[in-house]
Amino acid sequence: MNKVNAQKTIDCFFTVKRKKSITGDNGIETQYSLETSASTRFEGIVSKENNKKRKISDSKEMEQNGNEINLDKKDTFTDNRETEKKKEGEEPINSYSDSSFKAASNFKSDSHPDYMEEIKKLMHAEWYEHLKDELKKKYFQNMYLKIKEERKTKVIYPPERLVFNAFLKTPLSKIKVVIVGQDPYHQKDQAMGLCFSVPVGVKIPPSLKNILKEIKQKSTHGNLMSWSEQGVFLLNTSLTVEENKPASHKNYGWETFTDQVINIINQKKQNIIFMLWGNFAIKKCSKIDTTKHFILKAGHPSPLSIKHFVNCDHFNKCNGILAQKGLSPIKWELPQ
């Protein structure tokens, strides 16, 4: 082994430390160390290899299904293929009951008794108690196991351990505010199980930039976990998505699940402030009891509809309502 390779091998098994400082509310600066472990770097290597395998797998699947077609002719071609398939008694190409879905649908509770235990570890105990009956339903079991099966061959966001992050960071008893998004970010490293939020170190997406402008903050990051910990429930209506395919899990069953989540909040809580941005979120929460809760409506913070969001003043209005109810306001500015 030459010196270069030997050094690379050594580097892989030792921790890299770097210093970072943060300033707290008391003005005191604290330094802490960030460590990059060997396992973390190794996971990055494995992730790259998995992505290569998935591309190869996708390519083979496309060849087998005869799906390598001109995009301009895709709809017509697919319709013709589906007609031919029906004549032959086979499944159409874009049938919802693809092989992975059938595999998940055929799973029995007896063969996967631990899926409930998995979820139990991923959300706060309060949420689990209120949702366990919903989690046992056949539609949810099929959906959860289908996605679990898809993760073997596809890149799904967020990572499995973060799918129920909103339910972990904000217990039902602590909720003061609800913000509703659509589906998770579909690009690498962005989704973290909290709507609109991205991890520290990830480029801030356009919609989140506009949200931060509304609170008059030039933040160096877009991690909204501090909101979650103060009682802001950051809920996406679909909790998973396939890489680079927005709304790809729209019809999997998440909408039914999150409808029940909103229904629980509506029934079990009082004086919750729903900050609804865009027609999608407004429609999603159309059954909220306005005699018990508060609704703030505005356009979506996307650059495409920013004129209906800018200067909505939701963050100040929200804190005004909380003050009227004798509740502590939300510190919207993100810690740096």
Residue 148 near residue 123, CB atoms below 8 Å: no
Please identify which of the residues 11, 98, 114, 183 carries the catalytic annotation.
183
Whose tokens are 């690009």? That residue is 187
* Beta strand spans in the chain (E): 16-23, 29-36, 156-157, 177-181, 232-236, 241-242, 273-277, 294-298
Comparing CA positions, the residue from 16, 56, 17, 58 lying closest to residue 38 is: 16
- Specify the DSSP class assigned to residue 201: T
Report in angstroms the alpha-carbon separations of 46 from 41, 42, 43, 49: 9, 6, 5, 5
SS3 229: helix
Tell me, yes or no, if 183 is annotated catalytic. Answer: yes
- Residue 54 and residue 49: Cα distance in Å, rounded? 9
Other Cβ atoms closer than 10 A to 183: 22
Q: Which two tokens stand for residue 186?
A: 């579909």
Q: How many CA atoms lie within 13 A of 18 on its CB side?
A: 4
First to last CA, the chain: 44
User: Half-sphere exposure (CA, 13 Å, Cβ side) for 96?
Assistant: 9
| Residues designated as active site | 183
